[in-house]
Amino acid sequence: MATLQKGSKVYIDGFAGLIAGVVVDMLCQHDSGIVKYHTSASVKVTAKTGRGYVRGEVVARPVSMVVPRECVRRRKYSTRILPYNVLV
Local confidence pLDDT in tens for the 88 residues of the chain: 888 889 999 999 877 788 999 999 988 766 666 666 678 899 999 988 767 888 999 999 988 889 999 999 988 888 888 888 887 7
Say how many C-beta atoms besides its own lie within 10 A of residue 81's C-beta: 13
pLDDT at 34: 64
pLDDT at 35: 60
The tally of domains found in the chain comes to 1
CATH (domain of 66): 2.30.30
pLDDT at 32: 62
Q: Which helix (H) or strand (E) holds 80?
A: strand 79-81
47: containing domain = 3-86
Strand pairing category for 85-86 and 3-4: parallel
Closest CA to 55 of 47, 65, 67, 43: 47
